[in-house]
Homo-oligomer: A and B are copies of this chain.
Amino acid sequence: MSVDGKVLALSGGVGGAKLALGLYRTLPRDALMIVANTGDDFEHLGLAICPDLDTLLYTLSDKANLELGWGRRDETWTFMDALEKLGGETWFRLGDGDLATHVERTRRLAAGERLSAIMDDFRRRLGIAARILPMSDDKVRTRLDTDRGRLDFQDYFVRLRCEPIVRRIEFAGADAARPQACVVAALADPALRAVVICPSNPFISIDPILVVPGVRDALRACRAPVVAVSPIIGGKAVKGPTAKMMGELGLPVDAAAVARYYRDFLDIYIADEADRGAVAGLDLPITLAPTLMVTPEDRENLARIVLAAADRVR
């Protein structure tokens, strides 16, 4: 398979998906391959839930709920209301339309299909030309050692709203997980145009992808430029616990720390104009850009800046 002119993006959920959408709208229709974090995946109510994969699926098919920042737009909540009356667990909100993705995925997984095959079918059915791949078809689960004990990811993230202090993060199952062969092949292909590390949380969105055996090595050996976009803007996270977590893990809370965290494979760093001072001392090519993505145009602008920066180095 040729990957001539292809771009490989590594992404978590919301923030990453915004840039992924910008790339998708900017690049030729089938040039984008997105590798999604599945460390957040979990079983809930007997259903296989893959938050980051679904955020990418909904975002790229224009079904994302922009008001909520998660889930689907034009969503209804009849299931959740009825579940509450039956005494079911309601701390993790599942919209009625969203539920179709989980129920159908769970059914197909139980029938023996691979997660990557199911998601590939879903994205085609929703009219998405880009590939959306789980980082592995094997189960990897992010767990956090915190001041309130060892927590499953969604317990920490949703139920406890990221309140516990994180001491250490582990990725259960990562050692035995196999990467997607097409991702490893793409990284080794001399025709690859660029690798984009989306502005996702480095510790809980990008690290799970990197710890899948073979991925980090392939990224280090990759001849295409590896560009990361800072998830820190003006010394703060746009959304989510990135900044809080950096402090808890003993890192300086600034845009430069993220670039240093990726130093073994990073070629170019895109930081916000607000962080000019913070990234001044880094010894790799820096591009300053407006990285806050509010409108669809913001996403495409940032995508164009990322691609231009990559093409300059290549």
Q: A residues near B, CB below 8 A? A: 45-47, 72, 74-76, 78-83, 85-88, 95-101, 103-104, 106-107, 110, 121-122, 125-126
Task: With A45-B103, A85-B125 given, name 20 new contacts (CB 8 A).
Answer: A45-B107, A46-B46, A46-B110, A74-B78, A76-B78, A79-B96, A79-B99, A80-B100, A81-B97, A81-B100, A82-B101, A85-B100, A85-B126, A86-B101, A86-B104, A86-B122, A86-B125, A87-B121, A96-B96, A99-B103
Which B residues lie within 8 Å of A46 (CB)? 46, 103, 106-107, 110
Distance in Å from the Cβ of A40 to the closest Cβ of chain B? Answer: 20
Which B residues lie within 8 Å of A97 (CB)? 78-79, 81-82
Q: Is the interface of A mostly helix, strand, loop or mixed?
A: helix
6 shortest interchain CB distances as A-B pairs:
A82-B100, A78-B96, A96-B96, A82-B97, A83-B100, A46-B107
Which B residues lie within 8 Å of A72 (CB)? 82
Which B residues lie within 8 Å of A80 (CB)? 100
Which B residues lie within 8 Å of A121 (CB)? 87
Are A83 and B103 closer than 8 Å at their CB atoms?
Answer: yes
Which B residues lie within 8 Å of A88 (CB)? 100, 103-104, 107
A301 to B214, CA, bound (A): 74
Which B residues lie within 8 Å of A126 (CB)? 85-86
Are B96 and A83 closer than 8 Å at their CB atoms?
Answer: no
Distance in Å from the Cβ of A309 to the closest Cβ of chain B? Answer: 37
